[in-house]
Amino acid sequence: MHPRTFVFITLLVLCHLQVGAQVLTNALPPDEAGGTAQNAAQTTVQETSLPDDPGQEALPLAQPEAVPPSGVPFRAEAGNQRWVGHVWTGTEGVVFYYRDYVLRADKVTFNQATSELEAEGHLQMTGGPQDVFLTATRGDMQLNMHTARFYQVNGTQGIRTAGRTIQTIAAI
């Protein structure tokens, strides 16, 4: 055995953390030998105020949350809009709001049943947790899967145009 290996193993054995059981203590201080009548009266009041039945304790009751609405929540503005079944089509200066993202394009087709979105012409997407700013000629997105594919894209990520600036900067 090499001397450095011996020294390393010896130091490791001597310096490792000693794992032991946790010590439990009584939360109440010990009774004083020369206690006064006031301390005795205070102790009896504390003992009587504690409930005997665990069901009498004041525990918060859990309230179930409401079921989220089905579908993908979105808001859209456009010069021309129309619904055909579950498909929304907007043209002429479309602004599509989804969560923290804002999508602007000349034409947007959104299928609410499958949450697929297709955008064409001067596409611009901004926002999100990473402060995305990108421009593209067209894009296909699946909002329920949080995936997208953009074509002829240019943009940045991590640069906040208003408010506090994020430190990381990356080109997309």
Among 101, 146, 145, 100, smallest CA distance to 123 is for: 101
Does the pLDDT at position 133 exceed 60?
Answer: yes
Provide the mean pLDDT of the chain: 75
Which pLDDT score is estimated for 152? 92
pLDDT at 144: 81
Both tokens assigned to 133: 């700013």
Question: Higher pLDDT residue, 165 or 71?
Answer: 71
What pLDDT band is residue 118 in, cutting at 50, 70 and 90? Answer: very high
pLDDT bracket for residue 73 (50, 70, 90): confident
**Contact assessment for residue 159 and residue 166, using Cβ atoms and an 8 Å cutoff:** yes
Instruction: Determine the pLDDT at residue 168.
Output: 47
Least confident stretch, 34-43, 90-99, 154-163: 34-43
E-strand stretches of the chain: 75-77, 80-84, 87-98, 101-111, 116-127, 132-142, 147-151, 154-157, 170-171
Q: Is the pTM value of this prediction over 0.75?
A: no
CB-based contact 132:157 (threshold 8 Å): yes
Distance CA 109, CA 88 (A): 6
Q: How far is CA 124 from CA 42, 104, 153, in A?
A: 71, 5, 9
- Tracing tokens 């990108």 back to the chain, one arrives at 134
